[in-house]
Amino acid sequence: MIEVAVVLDRQHRPLHWHEPPDADAAALPDSRDLWEALWAARAQLSGVAHSHLHRGRPAPSWTDLTTFAACEAGLGVRLSWWIVTLDDASCFTHRGPGRYDYTGRTAIDQETAAWIAELRRRSLRDHPAGGLETP
């Protein structure tokens, strides 16, 4: 199992899958390649999703929150930051007042469900249990 990220366009379709060789089950390391993918897609970008390999309600780590804020500062736009666990998914957006104050909501439509299932499949690809069902 490894954490995986995916860059999403404004129609919530995957633009770029981020599966670096140095990722593990707990973290995706800093990556210039991912930043270049975000910068290249900035005109059509809506957000980024990444997997958390546990069950239950998603919650961003401090690393996640500081990455959300940094990328938005660099790109000059607010984005949607999805976190997908094995049986749930939430979309976090900046609500303020602080720099790192992001609030989650769950709103999974049909198009979102498709890439969520693919994100889980890629995250679990070496797991003996295989892919898990979409909630």
Partner 1 sequence: MNQRMIGASQARLNITWDGQNGDLPDSVPFDASDAEIKAWASEALRGGGVPGVTAARRADLQDFVIDRFPATDEMPYNRLFVRPKTPFGIQCG
Contact positions vs partner 1 (CB under 8 A): 3, 5, 26-32, 34-35, 38-39, 42, 50, 52, 61, 63-64, 66-67, 69-71, 73-77
Asked whether the CA dihedral 20, 30, 88, 13 is positive or negative, the reply is negative
Nearest-approach distance from CB 110 to partner 1, in angstroms? 26
Spatial separation of the C-alpha atoms in residues 100 and 33, rounded to whole Å: 24
Nearest-approach distance from CB 70 to partner 1, in angstroms? 4
Nearer to partner 1, 109 or 126 (CB): 126
Q: Token pair of 125, please?
A: 């690809």
Nearest-approach distance from CB 21 to partner 1, in angstroms? 15
CA nearest neighbour of 90 among 105, 80, 103: 105
